[in-house]
Structure 1
């Protein structure tokens, strides 16, 4: 009776974990525990998702968070009639510019938007001195601190106000934390990361980069695939692996002859061309950018583009990415602590969407002297009105006369015919013709 062979995962687990273990993990789990360098990642956890902040994912994220964090903020006070008055100096503005001793306002907002992209959640801790702060009327926190979202543990309570946030073995009430999230449809109280949705594409791109790095580290020599009809014994495989590792890897061993025992074993070279490496990386790049709803053109990676095309790419990028994020962040600040402090105050921002210069120019060209005056068009471009009111009226097409002048013009009057009593009749049909008595 043939002896039953020990499964490979049992052999591997015994070698790695020691013998007589009550629990032996599955092979895939074991490899992930001890070899995380090139293992396949699904980015399901926040800890894994944050590691994707490199390569094309880093570039796409940076193209979003930098302009979003740089949007100019404004503070207004609303009166009982609903009219707003801008406030230029206030403790709230100072707090937003300098949230803590380590980070400036733009830096903190960049972190916030990055965590939202990579982990789907963000946590801003409010502090009063060295204690957590919960918003109250007439009271402001001393500082804000963005917690590393991938290290935060959120525990949902029976009610949301009873939820807690745990970080660095400290537990904080949800009332002292400004929590933002991209709701996961599967569990709306938790966030969904862009990285999780793009996991397969991002990991494919990383695997290709790792392969390419190893390719050039081996003196740019392609790898070999060995094909054999018979299964190698453990002893033969070990001896072959040691020989190949010692004598045929590394740049110092390039181009050495290789002897393969067993005539049925045939080596095949694998090249970058076989893997279509460059086109594959371009494909994954475009797919990653699409996951972030942006385009390579935003970072200048576009071919045969003129200024109009680049302006259009930035315009769409601002509408799709910058504007929604800054709107959500400002609304969160207002509802979380600013309007709790003073209901009449309102944080706002300068619209970051650039004007469509081409559309503006077309409207001005078509509208001038039709429904726009020259001065109104000049005002749109920041220019002063024409002197002496020359541009304050609409001029008739094909004429230098203002419409209001033409409207006031009257037709020439003719003196009525005389009644035979010596009245004179003035003939105005000929310029300079004198009056004379009517016979």
Structure 2
């Protein structure tokens, strides 16, 4: 697996006696290798379809996993910081590569050459760029006491440079016989790859030199040299090559033509390709069904999940260790000390990997049970590695439903919200609105971070490829937006649904042995979150495309150059990410989105809690519209205040609940802060 040596290099000498790491004659002499990455590319990647298919699948899947930087908070929780210099470095390692580009190149170097290297460019002692190095141009130089003296790098002009170990990221697959240089999986399969390419060449040659079967021509009389040459020319012209396949053979000289069948040895040679692909797949760690696409969809799906668990995830773990060992100490110097707790860490996020979604769903179910047992949400998130940001309320344990149902019948009187006095309506709305604002602020911060990161990517894409590239970058971000919104919906629904379910449970009059629980991951809830995340992302993406298109047009009309227009794009995203003022007149886009989506999920959660309570307790439930109690409420919504309808009925404005995502009129939902109060009427 991947190894990193920096922690060994930077530890201070404790004064204890170490065994000699290299013999005296090796000290200061570069380590050489008989394996060449360039030859592996030429004779493996470019010559064998199986090698190309295996390495490409590994590189594509591993490189697109997003990476984040997390900072340790005062309460012991970890918080993502997308603006941290290390996060910027990982996403933009140099002016000509994205983080995915660099990781993809490293994967190719590792699987083909056994080693991948990156040179850190330091400014005032801090890395600002990472550049990939060709493994064939690098040689580690041993040191008898410090293990490694430096890396010798020969540039394309032939000049030799000495790079300090702490300025080089060196990833390698372990070679037990050589601690300084890695062993390529392709090296172990080299003869198999040669056999495979030879078989391909055999087939090509056979095609070019035959029609259907091989032939032997027996002339009826001895031939002179000139006649033999003429007969040979005639046979080649009429018999050889794919253009003459199944053609008619005309002979101008008397003689006999005899067909020659394919021998058993030849058949065995041709069938050997099936064996070589299996051996190549095994060496690369890719199941054959994934490499070839053969088999049922279920088998393929299982194999893909297996390769993620057995190959991709262990590699990502090792890469994370390398990043944390090499890069983190530049910003967290105490991390260099053995046993020192880190204050900064680099992590990867696999929550959006489709092949692992089934496992992720299992984790979520386990997480729900742990939270019910009293563990905090943030503790569970870190323990199970769910990949979400810690939330401000996530350090408080959930004690679960504490209201026990009555053990016998008693008199019941409906508590209709439509009959509440104004003070109670205002208090109910204020309590809901205050709690919702906390969710809005949290979501708005996450959305702002998403906008800032996307702005950098889109601006860079425009600088490289113009308007079409900028639009492509916006479209590519849709997947991440969808995963974010779906996770936000589920978290919001779980919180508000549980609270409303417990409120209705307290009103229920039904004998029951134990308190019931809100089912936060019911099929209806998961379907709603998935459906509306996709729908809202399509709206969000289209709005972003229009806004960025307008910014580009304005820049062109102002005769701005590419760099100035790219800056204009970044500034547009930065405006969307600004914090709001107190006027609520011009709310930034991040807060508008957060308010709409948090409110929509909250009111759906209330509706869903009502449905579950109705089915659980066999009660009739109605709902009452409670308008916002401030100066920003719409007049049409003010008139709705107190309107009561059945649980599945729509209000007179056509909405099932405030911020209903199925609303046909956007003016009915944008920035709405009304709520619903549900009542049991028996």
State the TM-score, normalizing by the size of structure 1. Answer: 0.61
Structure 1 portions without partners, runs of 5+ = 1-42, 227-236, 394-398, 406-439
Residue of structure 2 in register with 1:360 after alignment = 362
Residue of structure 1 in register with 2:318 after alignment = 328
What's the offset of the Cα at 1:292?
A: 1.3
1:188 aligns with 2:179: yes
Residue of structure 1 in register with 2:276 after alignment = 284
What's the offset of the Cα at 1:272?
A: 10
Residue of structure 1 in register with 2:561 after alignment = none
Among 91, 115, 137, which residue is 1:152 paired with? 137
Among 152, 155, 164, which residue is 2:152 paired with? 164
What's the offset of the Cα at 1:255?
A: 5.9
Q: Is the 8 A contact 2:213 2:259 kept in 1?
A: no
Any idea what SS the aligned residue of 1:346 has?
strand
Q: Is the 8 A contact 1:157 1:164 kept in 2?
A: no
Separation in 2, partners of 1:332, 1:68: 15
Q: Is the 8 A contact 1:70 1:106 kept in 2?
A: yes
Cα offsets for 1:178-222 (capped at 9, x unmatched)? 221112122221111111111122222211222222333446545
Among 190, 197, 200, which residue is 1:206 paired with? 197
Among 371, 388, 396, which residue is 2:501 paired with? 388
Q: CA RMSD in A?
A: 4.7
Any idea what SS the aligned residue of 1:61 has?
helix
Separation in 1, partners of 2:141, 2:97: 29
What's the offset of the Cα at 1:118?
A: 0.4
Residue of structure 2 in register with 1:348 after alignment = 347
Residue of structure 2 in register with 1:140 after alignment = 126
Cα distance change on mapping 1:178 and 1:361 into 2, 3 Å: closer
Cα distance change on mapping 1:225 and 1:284 into 2, 3 Å: farther
Separation in 2, partners of 1:325, 1:286: 22
Any idea what SS the aligned residue of 1:270 has?
coil
Separation in 2, partners of 1:312, 1:122: 30
State the TM-score, normalizing by the size of structure 2. Answer: 0.41
Q: Is the 8 A contact 1:215 1:222 kept in 2?
A: no
Any idea what SS the aligned residue of 1:67 has?
helix
Number of equivalences: 335
What's the offset of the Cα at 1:287?
A: 2.2
Residue of structure 1 in register with 2:53 after alignment = 59
What's the offset of the Cα at 1:259?
A: 11
Any idea what SS the aligned residue of 2:325 has?
helix
Separation in 1, partners of 2:178, 2:231: 51
Cα distance change on mapping 1:300 and 1:280 into 2, 3 Å: closer
Cα distance change on mapping 1:220 and 1:49 into 2, 3 Å: farther
Any idea what SS the aligned residue of 1:191 has?
coil
Separation in 1, partners of 2:179, 2:216: 48
Cα offsets for 1:225-277 (capped at 9, x unmatched)? 99xxxxxxxxxx999988876775334666647899xx9x9973438995257
1:293 aligns with 2:268: no
Cα offsets for 1:151-175 (capped at 9, x unmatched)? 3231423341334232322333342
Any idea what SS the aligned residue of 2:95 has?
coil
Q: Is the 8 A contact 1:223 1:271 kept in 2?
A: no
Separation in 1, partners of 2:210, 2:511: 78
Identify which range, 182-191 or 278-287, moves more after superposition: 278-287
Residue of structure 1 in register with 2:512 after alignment = 401
Structure 2 portions without partners, runs of 5+ = 1-33, 218-227, 334-342, 375-397, 402-487, 517-682
Identify which range, 114-123 or 170-179, moves more after superposition: 170-179
Q: Is the 8 A contact 2:127 2:330 kept in 1?
A: no
